[in-house]
Amino acid sequence: MKDHDIRIVSLIPSGTEILASLGLSKYIVGRSHECDYPPEITNLPICTTARLNSKASSRDIHDGINNLLQSSLSIYQIKIEVLEQLQPTHIITQDQCDVCAASLSDVEQAVGKLIHTKPEIISLQPQTLKDVWGDIERIGNTFQVDSVKILENLEARVKICQRKLEGLSLKEMPTVACIEWTDPLLFAANWIPELVNLAGGQTLFSIMGGTAAHLHWETLITRNPDIIILMPCGFNLQRTQQEAELLTYRPEWETLHAVKAGRVYVTDGNSYFNRPGPRLADSLEILAEILHPEIFDYGYKGIGWESLKVANLAQPTAKNR
């Protein structure tokens, strides 16, 4: 296949970012409704829609997702007529999480309905940092693009963090609770525990490569982490601040060590932690800044993370469950 014949549709933001890092942006002809980086791809045709209102409360979003899945309905709809018009040669999707983006089965069904093209489907399923780097290499190989320098750069950034943390004792490594959803509470998993450990922390509640699961308030109180980091899937920094404020209305909140020490942080999980692509290296650096500000200052504060701002607690705006 000649270069000018390549037409890629990316239905997952991390896939779009991987393509861009490999210099393949010029071949992307369509994207998902959530693909927003790099900026130059935002004017491309949108090939998916969501059946949920992303501006709803965390609880309503969670309940809506469960209702759809229990009804055997996909959370996302693929615009088959747009795909037909774009005639892609390749579609990038994922087979990791039905909540994150259009699933592999959704894409396979959509492709089966296309008349004028039968694109190759590239499905990503990363669970660890190594898997993400492997996806970058695999996509590079698919389009005959050398990924070595990109991967070397990413690995070098990881090693810089590790070198700066050499000699740190276990007592100097804070216990960290990473929260992926606020109502109900879910702890972050997959590559997040690995990033926490690489950034000089001790992750709580989850293991590398595991899946996110419910975190009971009683467990959070009992384990009493040194640091709490909120990184809700799909929420930017401002939205995460709003969601995190609801946690402060709980009577147990003030008893947490992280709260007393002023070490509760919000992040832009949408741009960083929840996208298994090149910006996981940025996510590691953000964690390093949060966990060890005496060692690291990459300049992400106010962009990728900030301290939780505690508002007036007299009038709760929502009921936590």
Neighbours of 3 (CB within 10 A): 10
DSSP states of 43-107: TSPB-EEESS-TTS-HHHHHHHHHHHHHTT--SEEE-HHHHHHH--SEEEEESS-TTTS-BHHHH
Amino acid letter, 257? H
Residue 320 pLDDT grade (very low, low, confident, very high; cuts 50, 70, 90): very low
Determine contact, residues 81/48, Cβ cutoff 8 Å. no
The Cα–Cα gap between 288 and 267 comes to 13
Q: What percentage of the chain exceeds 90 in pLDDT?
A: 70
- 3-125 shares its CATH topology with 167-307: yes
Pairing outcome for strands 185-187 and 213-214: antiparallel
Query: Each residue of 271-304: pLDDT tens digit?
Result: 999 999 999 999 999 999 999 999 999 999 999 9
Tell me the pTM.
Answer: 0.90
Give the start-to-end residue ranges of the domains of the chain: 3-125, 167-307
Query: Each residue of 37-51: pLDDT tens digit?
Result: 999 999 999 999 987
Q: Which two tokens stand for residue 203?
A: 């992750």
Compute the mean pLDDT over every residue in the chain, rounded to the nearest whole number.
Answer: 89
What CATH class does 3-125 carry? Answer: alpha beta
The C-alpha torsion from 252 through 237 and 204 to 62, rounded to 10°, is 70
**What pLDDT is recorded for position 276?**
95
In degrees and rounded to multiples of 5, residue 55 shows phi and psi of: -90, 0
Query: Each residue of 56-76: pLDDT tens digit?
Result: 777 777 666 667 666 555 678
What average pLDDT does this structure show over 240-265? 92
Degrees, nearest 5: CA angle 217-245-221: 20
Neighbours of 271 (CB within 10 A): 20
What CATH class does 167-307 carry? Answer: alpha beta
Burial class (CB within 10 angstroms; exposed 0-12, middle 13-18, buried 19+) of 256: buried
For residue 310, pLDDT over 80 is answered with no
Residue 97 pLDDT grade (very low, low, confident, very high; cuts 50, 70, 90): low
**What pLDDT is recorded for position 68?**
62
